[in-house]
Structure 1
Amino acid sequence: MLKFKFLLWAFTQLLKRQIKNNPDCTRYVESKNLVFQIRTVSGVGRYYVIRDGAIRSSAGLVANPQFTLSFKDAVKGFAILSAKDSQAAFLRGLGSKDLIISGDFQEVMWFQGLTAFLQPPKIVSPYDRTAF
């Protein structure tokens, strides 16, 4: 459970850094007003507020988020959120019902775009002809 809580807190810190240091990320969030939460079915979680080009979060849950990512438990949540193949892990979690998404799916898709800023840049090999 502690690893899951730490991951949710660290997520905010990583996004703050990206918003501060990456102009593309700054533009992505600058006009967004969004409240969402990531939680377990048992009620452990954190909510996030994106407003005025900044993100903040607090432990606990909020009454009316625009969307919620609910994990079966903290172990599944940590595994899915920290997976190297994050998009595939999300899809597997949805298929197995280890992850349930509720709320505004347009906002969920926007959020997926935001998480892309946390991915390490792809390094292109000079021998990779598909990159050209």
Structure 2
Amino acid sequence: MAFTGEKGAIKTGENSITKMENWKLSIKANEVDTTSFDSDGWEETEVTTKSWEVSMEGTFNKADTTGQKAVMAALVSGENLPIKLYVDKTAEKEDFSGNIKITGLDIDTTVKDKLKISIKAKGNGKLNGLDD
């Protein structure tokens, strides 16, 4: 059975960010080279800090005063924005959550298409949901 994304959702606090069509979560672990003379010619590494980023896209919704507007306000203020990412919006608990800093926002207006919004954010602190 294949899973599909039509039940996904994005929330900031308890408010949905409306009209969104996709979200992407990228998680990265930083490596430190620990290769030594004792490594017998093989590279060795240790994982140190981790980071995460989120990107989201959808239809621009000027009427969404608690979702898309909150994202814009967080970009302007530089404040943390709590985020909850759902694979299935009917689930009791989100799949991933944490605080983000909004790092980019694009609104695309095209004559023959809907208004689009693209949001980029960087995780600020721990990403919850990986060890549940």
Higher helix proportion, which one? 1
Higher-RCO chain (CA-CA 8 Å, sequence separation at least 6): 2
The structure number with the bigger radius of gyration is 2
- What TM-score do you get using the length of structure 2 for normalisation? 0.22
